[in-house]
């Protein structure tokens, strides 16, 4: 019995390694004059003000909000894939947030809306509440980002003008927006 399983395992390992190597070798079309890199992969980065990173922390800070508040901050994404693939980007809030005081998320999730536009405001996601961004997520405008290309966006925030003072002095932090780039 051991031999049977060992054989099956060996078969799987050989097939896996072989097929993985084959894909890695032949899905990359990159060439270089001085060097050739072995393979490529999708790689979406965000500019943290100093360099292109996979995580920008801390990123957006919107303090002093009040009903009717509207403002935006710029952010930049870049397709640093090592092969020429285009990445369509979608944004979504990841679970987990720090509340001050407790319950602030429930208070604010339906009052604060976020929209992501291209930096020239030629296209955008439209306004969606934090709760929508958490439960659904939306595609960023402008189509897929080509390899090495950069997407410039505005991160708009708006507070419902009809919000009551129940939201006063509420704060949520450590919220994470995850941008997923998927090869087109």
Partner 1 sequence: MNCFVPLDKSGTMAKKITSSLRTIGKILEWMVFGMLIILYLIVLSPNLPTKKYVSTYIVQTGSMEPTIHTGSIALIRQINADQIKKGDIIIFTSPKDPNQTILHRVFEVKQKDKNIEFEMKGDNNTAPDNWMIPAVSIKGICFSTIPFLGHPAAFLKTQKGFIILIGIPALFLIILQIKKIREGIDEEVQRRIHKQIKKEKTTDVITGIGILLLASLTGLLSIQAVRALFISKATASGITFSVKDFTPPTTTVFIQGDLDETKNIVGTGGWHGYGWYERYDNVNLRIQTGDPFTHTINYQLLSGDVACPVASDISYVTGLAHDTNIENVVNVRTNGIHTLCYFGTNPPAFSEAVAHKQLLKLDRENPAFVITGASGTYSDGVYYNNSPTVSATVSPADGFSGYTRGRFDLTYADAGHNCTTPVPSGVIPGYPGYNEDNLLPPHLSPTRTLTQTNIPDGNWCFRIWVYDDVQNKSGYQDVSFTVDTSIPTASLSVTGSWTKKVEENIDNGGFESGGTTDWKTAGNVTTIASDTIGTTPITPTGTAMARIGQTSGSSGNYAWENRLMQSIPAGAKSLSLFYNFLTRDYFLDDPGFFIRLNGKDIFHTSAWMADTLVDPFDSVYSTGWTQWYYDLSTITDPFINLSISAGNTGDQDVQSWVYIDQVTTYVVAAPSHAQYSFTGTDTGTGISKFYYNIDSAVDYTLYTTPFKIPIVNNQSQPLASSNN
Give the footprint of partner 1 on residues 8-47 (CB under 8 A). 8-27, 29-47
Tell me: does residue 180 bind partner 1 (CB under 8 A).
yes
The neighbour count for residue 133, using CB atoms within 10 Å, is 22
For residues 71 and 136, which CB has a smaller minimum distance to partner 1 in the complex? 71
Tell me: does residue 74 bind partner 1 (CB under 8 A).
no
For residues 162 and 169, which CB has a smaller minimum distance to partner 1 in the complex? 169
The neighbour count for residue 56, using CB atoms within 10 Å, is 20
Candidates 71, 72, 81, 95; binder of partner 1 (CB under 8 A) is 81
- Give the range of 66-74, 118-126, 134-142 binding partner 1 by CB under 8 A: 66-74
- Give the range of 54-62, 118-126, 135-143 binding partner 1 by CB under 8 A: 54-62
The SS3 call for residue 26 is helix
What does the block give as tokens for 1?
């019995």
**CA 16/CA 29 separation, integer angstroms:** 22
What does the block give as tokens for 122?
């030629």
**CA 79/CA 34 separation, integer angstroms:** 22
Find the binding residues for partner 1 in span 133-172 (CB under 8 A): 147-148, 155, 157, 159, 165, 167-172
**CA 41/CA 51 separation, integer angstroms:** 19
Candidates 72, 112, 115, 144; binder of partner 1 (CB under 8 A) is 112
Total binding residues toward partner 1, as defined by CB under 8 A: 101
Cis peptide preceding 101, ω within 30 of 0: yes
């Amino acid at each position: 019995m051991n031999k049977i399983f060992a054989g099956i395992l060996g078969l799987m390992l050989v097939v896996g390694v072989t097929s993985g190597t084959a894909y890695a070798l032949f899905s990359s079309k990159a060439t270089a004059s001085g060097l050739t890199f072995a393979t490529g992969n999708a790689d979406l980065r965000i500019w943290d003000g100093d360099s292109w990173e996979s995580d920008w922390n801390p990123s957006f800070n919107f303090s002093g909000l009040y009903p009717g508040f509207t403002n935006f901050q710029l952010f930049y994404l870049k397709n640093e894939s090592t092969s020429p693939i285009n990445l369509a980007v979608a944004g979504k809030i990841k679970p987990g947030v720090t509340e001050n005081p407790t319950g602030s998320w429930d208070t604010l999730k339906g009052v604060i809306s976020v929209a992501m536009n291209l930096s020239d405001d030629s296209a955008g996601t439209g306004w969606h509440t934090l709760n929508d961004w958490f439960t659904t997520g939306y595609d960023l405008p402008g189509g897929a980002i080509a390899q090495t290309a950069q997407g410039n966006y505005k991160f708009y925030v708006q507070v419902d003008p009809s919000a009551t003072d129940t939201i006063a002095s509420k704060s949520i932090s450590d919220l994470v927006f995850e941008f997923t780039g998927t090869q087109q």
